[in-house]
Amino acid sequence: MEKINPRIDIAFKKIFGVEENKDLLISLINSIVGAEDQVVEVTLLNPYNPRNFATDKLSILDIKAKGETGKLFNIEIQITDEADYDKRALYYWAKLYTEQLKVAEEYSVLSKAIGIHILNFTSIPDVDNYHNVFHIVEKKTGLQYFKDLELHTIELKKFCKTGREALDEVLAKIKVTLDIWVAFLTRHDLINRDNVPAQLDNPELKKALHVLDVMNFGELEQQAYEERLKWMRIEANTLKKHEEKARAERDIEIARNLVASNVSVTVIAQATGLTIEEIESLKP
């Protein structure tokens, strides 16, 4: 039987968004946020409820939680790319922040809101870091005056670029606790909970592996899980085809330039992987 994929939001929320696993959520949050935002306890504001699928199998399964000091956290895992994700992230942060304020309450009751977006795709191609933190700062001085806004992006594809890395390749990347959680989300299939490598020796990770192994879905949950899994596979296949097309176009362009420089057809074939016939067709 195929292992359940923790990157599918239903499984993700059943791992991190239930009362009995709040220790896992606390570990995940603390691995992401800075020292000033660490939490000891959290209150789940929208705990996982399988009955939700009776009305909406494609609902957004984010996790909303409040820390013991009142700070709010919204954690969402997104399995497929979509247009304007940056705007969506801001919108969900704004809802989290503004929904704190009840009628006639003072603005002073508002607490910091932190959005955490775990993405199964590359959303910020301009930087190599898989974890990026965003604030509003003054343009010239970098002063962070509006301190209640904080957004995190965690791009899983930047940690495991191919999804086919061997265990030793994954272990070589483990430096901090967040790396452990990202390794769990991307290559859980390589980790045996009864023989966890020293680099991953973390009690919360071991519990998460156990939760994943014993996880069961009801009928509606299973349907929703399979629909999301299908979309993730379609997205991966589409991305693969796009990369193959881009690589083929690049090879043709390289071959065309080499042809113009009178490089031999044999050398061009070795450099690009194109056939002799394909190279000959590029000649003027």
Is residue 75 a contact partner of residue 21, using CB atoms and an 8 Å limit?
no
pLDDT attached to residue 22: 96
0.95 exceeded by pTM:
no
pLDDT attached to residue 253: 85
Q: 45, 41, 48: which is closest to 64 by C-alpha?
A: 45
Is residue 150 a contact partner of residue 115, using CB atoms and an 8 Å limit?
yes
Is residue 42 a contact partner of residue 74, using CB atoms and an 8 Å limit?
no
Q: pLDDT under 50 in the chain at which residues?
A: 57
Is residue 48 a contact partner of residue 9, using CB atoms and an 8 Å limit?
no
pLDDT attached to residue 242: 57
pLDDT attached to residue 197: 94
pLDDT attached to residue 243: 60
Residue with tokens 């680099």: 199
The Cβ of residue 64 has, within 10 Å, a number of other Cβ atoms equal to: 21
C-alpha–C-alpha distance, residues 175 and 31, integer Å: 11
Is residue 87 a contact partner of residue 115, using CB atoms and an 8 Å limit?
no
Is residue 67 a contact partner of residue 123, using CB atoms and an 8 Å limit?
no
pLDDT attached to residue 56: 53
C-alpha–C-alpha distance, residues 134 and 128, integer Å: 15
Contacts of residue 238, Cβ cutoff 8 Å, sequence gap at least 6: none
pLDDT attached to residue 241: 58
Q: How far is CA 164 from CA 187, 194, 227, in A?
A: 8, 22, 23
Query: Mind spelling out the 3-state secondary structure of the chain?
Result: CCCCCCCCHHHHHHHHCCHHHHHHHHHHHHHHCCHHHCCCCEEECCCCCHHHHHCCCCCCCCEEEEECCCCEEEEEEECCCCCCHHHHHHHHHHHHHHCCCCCCCCHHHCCCEEEEEEECCCCCCCCCCCEEEECCCCCCCCCCCCCCEEEEEEEHHHHCCCCCCCHHHHHCCCCCHHHHHHHHHHHHHHCCCCCCCHHHCCHHHHHHHHHHHHCCCCHHHHHHHHHHHHHHHHHHHHHHHHHHHHHHHHHHHHHHHHHHCCCCHHHHHHHHCCCHHHHHCCCC
Query: How many residues appear in the chain?
Result: 284
